[in-house]
Structure 1
Amino acid sequence: MTSTIDVPVHETFQLGEVTVPRLWTGLWQLSSNAWGTAPVSKIRQAMGRHVDSGYTTFADHYGSAELIFGQFRSSLKSPESVFGATKWCVFKPTIVSQETVEAAIRQRIERMQTDRVDLLQFHWQDYENPDYLKAIEIMMQLKARGLIRNIGLCNFDAVRTKEICSRFPAAIVSNQIPFSVVDTRALYALKDVCNKYGIKALTYGTLCGGFLAEKWIGLSEPDHYSGSLNPSQRKYLDMIVKAWGSWALFQELLVALHKIAQRHSVNVSNVATRWVLDHSFVGAVIVGARLGCSEYPLDNLKVYDLVLTDEDRLEIQSVLNRSSGRKLIETIGDCGAEYR
């Protein structure tokens, strides 16, 4: 593929031994038709446009995401130039053994048409069962055998992340967690754990399902049950109006972000993304894309040229100070608690 579009140089960071961009393309919207559908051929074309624009990292495993990504990457002249992050999520009681863990990893290798998983992100539902430690120990053995390139966590809280990193120094490179101007739970204990052990946060929900955008300014609170909202929007609307504050206060946040965006000739989503990226423990923001339906790769790239000022940050903070953001750690729990 040869790009004819001049695009900004991507910011990068070190993930284990790999250098990757700080904006990733999230594939979770391939999990359901509720986000919209497109033929696989159009999805692969959209992936190509993203790669042409420097988005060389794709993440998630829901639905057909691994299969479509694997087909796309294997079709490239240089498939090694594209990085794939996937997950192994354990939601129900599972016997953790060499056989079960290896079977899960090999399934991902087969689906992604590769010889090893670039980044295996591990989610464990039941903290009462400490076998997540045994699972990670086996993953380390599989990594030594070349089946896994990097091991990461997904939705692990500060207590368990610290436990794992203390038990297995240097084994974990990342933790995929929610983090946005609305959901700031990561700024409590988890930030310090990441900094102490040198692991990077890979953030999702950074745009609150698309609510952090100009198009919502001045609109009335949407109806949860109208059928007009996708699954992500229903999730984040609940957080905004039931836990964080109110729709009216969220409108004030959007207006503040919009004023900042206008000063820098960018958009609200760029400002919200830059605010997250400016935290040193954050490696990348994973931006969900409805590939083949609705995508904004070039608009999102404007974040790389954006430098927020102290004034900008104070204006954002002045709204956040009037929210219940600081209480989310108590009302919802630490990062990932909403999935347990």
Structure 2
Amino acid sequence: MHSSAHETFELGEFTVPRLWTGLWQLSSNAWGSASVPKIRQAMGRHVELGHTAFADHYGSAELIFGQFRSSLESPESVLGATKWCVFKPIVISEETVEAAVRQRMERMGTERVDLLQFHWQDYENHDYIQALQILSQLKTKGLIAAIGLCNFDAVRTEELCTQFPGTIVSNQIPLSLIDTRALYALTAVCSKYNVKLLTYGTLCGGFLADKWIGEREPDPYSGSLNPSQRKYLDIIVKAWGSWSLFQDLLLVLRGISERHGVSISNVATRWVLDQPAVGAVIIGARLGCTEYAADNLKVYGLTLTTENRAQIAEVLARSAGRQLIETIGDCGAEYR
């Protein structure tokens, strides 16, 4: 059963689609590169299809997105989510935080940031509390429309939601059929405080796709894999299970996808969208190179049956997926 009706949800003051376009592949030519005009044209095609939310700040993503949005007749109809990532110790003051936010505004050519997602590297340094307090003041001043987190674990998400009630609208974290760490404590915390999960890595760098069925385990050093694929291959074969078990999963997904007349990627995306607290799946796009904007629309209106879920659960139960929370740590631990 398919429907062209777009699924949406409320995020702060915005009503946004449940599929977002991730721009992290603009960070490096390792994903393949296209000219800026081609990238802007691809953004236009996405918006025409109803993919009106874009996320990420790496490389020239903010600049290109800002140029694209300013060219639209109604720029406010498209949402831009960006990040403020604090990787190294800095002095947290009203001046430093506001300067970081204004830099985002300047690069995106806007008078406020739609969704500012905050990443903090070192939990031992509790200045992230002061940083969030200043961000919430900047929101009151009108420089930020909505505040989200990025790669925050369950403990710190709950800590911040308790200290700043109603301030945080989202948390961008990894979630896929392979990486289910968010379904433990984090999902419960986000449900409790009405924080929406914005998920990335949902297609494991493109491994959760029809083209990998029957393929041999790729060599991570062959040069044929992009950075995302090297990362997720490592998780699949070293932490989650094996390439052979992954093939079992792909075959189950293909059986389900064929019955529904969709792709394996659609099924994998739908499974994530159906998890508690998930607002949107952010699908990385190589804009101007390869894009699946039309195929992704089939996720809307796809309903997985109880039998479909049971078939998927049977394969997942044979994996070490449940142990990832211990072997890797909670969401974001892999970056710390």
Q: State if a TM-score over 0.5 links the two structures.
A: yes
Q: Deviation of residue 19 (structure 1)?
A: 0.5
Whichever residue aligns with residue 308 of structure 2, its letter is D
> Do 2:21 and 2:285's aligned partners in 1 also have CA atoms closer than 8 Å?
yes
CA distance in 2, matches of 1:187, 1:160: 16
TM-score w.r.t. length of structure 1: 0.98
- Which residue number in structure 2 is paired with residue 333 of structure 1? 329
Whichever residue aligns with residue 131 of structure 2, its letter is A
* Ranges in structure 1 where 5+ consecutive residues have no aligned partner: 1-6
Question: SS of the counterpart of 1:226?
Answer: coil
Question: SS of the counterpart of 1:195?
Answer: helix
Matched, 1:40 2:36: yes
CA distance in 2, matches of 1:102, 1:167: 21
- Which residue number in structure 2 is paired with residue 27 of structure 1? 23
Q: 1:236 aligns with which of 227, 232, 250?
A: 232
* Ranges in structure 2 where 5+ consecutive residues have no aligned partner: none
Which runs of structure 2 are paired with 1:162-201 in the superposition (5 Å)?
A: 162-201=158-197
Task: State, as a whole percentage, how many aligned pairs show the same letter.
Answer: 75
Q: Deviation of residue 247 (structure 1)?
A: 0.3
Which runs of structure 2 are paired with 1:146-225 in the superposition (5 Å)?
A: 146-225=142-221
CA-atom RMSD in angstroms = 0.6
> Do 2:83 and 2:119's aligned partners in 1 also have CA atoms closer than 8 Å?
yes
- Which residue number in structure 2 is paired with residue 309 of structure 1? 305
Q: Deviation of residue 47 (structure 1)?
A: 0.2
CA distance in 2, matches of 1:244, 1:320: 9
- Which residue number in structure 2 is paired with residue 4 of structure 1? none
The count of corresponding residues between Structure 1 and Structure 2 is: 334
> Do 2:175 and 2:202's aligned partners in 1 also have CA atoms closer than 8 Å?
yes
Which runs of structure 2 are paired with 1:1-340 in the superposition (5 Å)?
A: 8-340=4-336
CA distance in 1, matches of 2:6, 2:64: 24
Question: SS of the counterpart of 1:126?
Answer: coil
Q: Deviation of residue 305 (structure 1)?
A: 1.9
Q: Deviation of residue 288 (structure 1)?
A: 0.2
Q: Deviation of residue 302 (structure 1)?
A: 0.3
- Which residue number in structure 2 is paired with residue 3 of structure 1? none
Instruction: Give deviations 1:92-112, integer Å, cap 9, x for gaps.
Output: 011000000000000000000
Instruction: Give deviations 1:88-145, integer Å, cap 9, x for gaps.
Output: 0000011000000000000000000000000000000000000000000000000000
Whichever residue aligns with residue 116 of structure 1, its letter is R
> Do 2:40 and 2:64's aligned partners in 1 also have CA atoms closer than 8 Å?
yes
Whichever residue aligns with residue 206 of structure 2, its letter is G
Q: Deviation of residue 10 (structure 1)?
A: 1.1
Question: SS of the counterpart of 2:307?
Answer: helix
> Do 2:85 and 2:118's aligned partners in 1 also have CA atoms closer than 8 Å?
yes
